[in-house]
Structure 1
């Protein structure tokens, strides 16, 4: 933010330095020696919960239409309806066409950037932490008697906008089996019976570790937790449910101060075998790095001091991490029957609208510049510089300035993975097309945007 203001002549060099200093937190470290009793902390946070959630719900209502409007005849892999329509609300008196005709500077100066395109804060940005949808909480509690309920906060988005649950699992090694889950959420209670005879012993051990709960910042045995009872912790597949995603949310651990930390929507693990970068911004170079990083750092908001106190799970790289990574690399994308061997549409199977959408994807829409077939990623990072459309602003404790470079996520199976963008700020594929039409300044027509959505659903 401050470099932008300085470049515009708004801040002098000395003022810029002062402003930057003002945006530093007092410390990078979380408090270790808690002075408030757990009972007092819980009572205080329970009392504040209603007002916090009302404020966040008001923000969501101002930004989005969160209604249940499924697209006719379009479902995810196991049959959950896909939601349709642009859900981001426009500023009063404007249209998407008018907005796309303006320059980024005009949109910025006239404050016309749609609020749903701004970074999305955590439901309680000042507190942060892992937050799970109720369907995940209920099933884990049922199978393991392990409660992922937070006493201070509930999940913020309605179920119809989230991925299907439990999601299917497709294996690169056994495509003949299709979904291997038998319609169940894979947990420590059933992983062995589901996968014995399908995986090899090392892969089964990797899966065991992925469904084993370990202490985490909000779920642990200390007084500094957000579960009423002392908790065994969380498992990797509590967020990456069935190796996919349930849209559980968190804050990235590698940014300070707190108001600059990005909300992160859990990405799917499908297709990690073809990816070369891991983490939305961290650019970790292997799934082994990612797995170890999550346990050592992300579980504890990037604070190894707190991790030591709460019981960090130090994985052994040569056996445990390797086994966990090997299982993750077996997770395949869902079938896409309309795609040929090269990841393009088979003209004999696709609709006219899908074929037109494909032409836009590889042409006017410029989507393929980053999302290259057959898996629709270039395995690079790109900075969209969305901040050129708006002035820095505080949004419910989240300082919206600049996102920075974000990795190119694969688009294969994208209809199974709402919500969209790294922080989940876009509810539907229609929203995503509108966002990129504006940010990339491609000026697609309404018909072109509709066709592009049809193509994305076919991937």
Structure 2
């Protein structure tokens, strides 16, 4: 069983079979073992494997999606620097249309193997190793400002830049809505945050900001020999994934599941609107931002492994003097302005277009979106829901990933949703049009093409 990750789960890439000395977790184990070869040998092997690893992931992405640049005319993300991509990107099986697929039962789709591959869970770029993977723009900016290295020698980020959030994302504060974006068009780091926020936030919030920007050791970014960066590292900061309190599409693996081959990919979620959210973490259901902040620092940075964390030097923040301050800073981050929404989250009919209003009616009616995404609650219901997607497909190994049923996942807010591609908890859907097709099939909504387009247009206004 312990040979499983190194042999049985490889899929045609011989070089990837060289795992036993570097794997973070044997397939049947709970705790991460120590490396058994010198760091130089591990690094050399990982670098030799990297081209094949990246080629294999790119082949999977190209098989599942249309990754071309197809922006929606005139629709920009909230910072005004990046167009929103449109169109359905998930590819259909040969001979099938979205209309014919929507008429089939889950059992029939499963029996015939017709669920689009892009609707299935998306594997990590290197499942056997896992860990945080950052987009190049974040890597380059942190290297420029802090001389800290977030570039792994074993993998690269796998999605094209135009299908990720704008960078840097704007920052909106509940305490200063009149100021608009307070980021000055910069990525907040330890080198510039004080100058940017001085006179705007309180001393307590400023201290929370400092902690959120301070790097601490993480599984792949640390001083120990099992790291995945060339030189000993100070680690990563909360804001390395949640850039400017939003997201840059950095991803890792859920800390909440074993074995390693079944840990699902997690796309970094936005921290906008934390003040109005009651559960945190896609699977953990942590009940306050304080709990989430403390848990992240103690174990999630280390893939849910407190034993490995102790060896690397964990940060054990004080609940009163540190965690509360970090939470206070996170809880003043607002959603981007939505000029067409009234105070109850409904469209103002004097500002909205007929298509947007039609989409809102569908959202609250036939499409059933509002049953989970409640408008007056920041488009949330503070609950976990299980879509039971396994009704539609048989689980098979892909790129060393053996998916289990997703199980209950928390409801994510739809406010400012155009700023947050890719979508779903693992980033398996590239556009909002993809999400409409996904839920139309999974929930059996039977939406027409014009209804799908209206619903997408409505979500762009949120």
Same fold (TM over 0.5): yes
Aligned match of 1:245: 247
Aligned match of 2:10: none
Aligned match of 1:58: 59
Aligned match of 2:326: 324
**Does structure 2 conserve the Cα–Cα contact (< 8 Å) formed by 1:56 and 1:396?**
yes
Query: What do residues 252-273 of structure 1 show as CA deviations (whole Å, max 9, x unaligned)?
Result: 1110001110100000000011
Q: CA deviation at 1:26?
A: 2.8
Aligned match of 1:11: none
Aligned match of 1:336 in 323, 335, 338? 338
Aligned match of 1:377: 380
Aligned match of 2:6: none
Tell me, yes or no, if structure 1 residue 386 matches structure 2 residue 389: yes
**Does structure 1 conserve the Cα–Cα contact (< 8 Å) formed by 2:256 and 2:283?**
no
2: CA distance, partners of 1:200 / 1:26: 49
**Does structure 2 conserve the Cα–Cα contact (< 8 Å) formed by 1:205 and 1:323?**
yes
TM-score (norm: length of structure 2): 0.93
Q: CA deviation at 1:400?
A: 2.2
Aligned match of 1:411: 414
Q: CA deviation at 1:150?
A: 0.2
**Does structure 2 conserve the Cα–Cα contact (< 8 Å) formed by 1:391 and 1:401?**
no
Aligned match of 2:15: none
Residue correspondence of structure 1 range 244-393 to structure 2 within 5 A: 244-374=246-376, 375-393=378-396
**Does structure 1 conserve the Cα–Cα contact (< 8 Å) formed by 2:220 and 2:228?**
yes
- Which ranges in structure 1 are unaligned for 5 or more consecutive residues? 1-23
Q: CA deviation at 1:210?
A: 0.3
2: CA distance, partners of 1:315 / 1:329: 18
SS in 1 for 2:75: strand
Query: What do residues 136-179 of structure 1 show as CA deviations (whole Å, max 9, x unaligned)?
Result: 00000000000100000000000000000000000011101111
Residue correspondence of structure 1 range 217-256 to structure 2 within 5 A: 217-256=219-258
Q: CA deviation at 1:393?
A: 1.3
**Does structure 1 conserve the Cα–Cα contact (< 8 Å) formed by 2:273 and 2:335?**
yes
SS in 2 for 1:360: helix
Q: CA deviation at 1:196?
A: 1.0
Aligned match of 1:18: none
Aligned match of 1:43: 44
1: CA distance, partners of 2:404 / 2:316: 35
Tell me, yes or no, if structure 1 residue 441 matches structure 2 residue 444: yes
Size of the alignment, in residue pairs? 435
Query: What do residues 254-294 of structure 1 show as CA deviations (whole Å, max 9, x unaligned)?
Result: 10001110100000000011000000111000001111111
1: CA distance, partners of 2:64 / 2:385: 26
Q: CA deviation at 1:297?
A: 0.7
Query: What do residues 11-54 of structure 1 show as CA deviations (whole Å, max 9, x unaligned)?
Result: xxxxxxxxxxxxx943200013x321010000000000011111
2: CA distance, partners of 1:217 / 1:317: 23
Aligned match of 1:158: 160
TM-score (norm: length of structure 1): 0.94
2: CA distance, partners of 1:418 / 1:331: 19
CA RMSD for the aligned pairs? 0.8
1: CA distance, partners of 2:407 / 2:361: 29
**Does structure 2 conserve the Cα–Cα contact (< 8 Å) formed by 1:277 and 1:286?**
yes
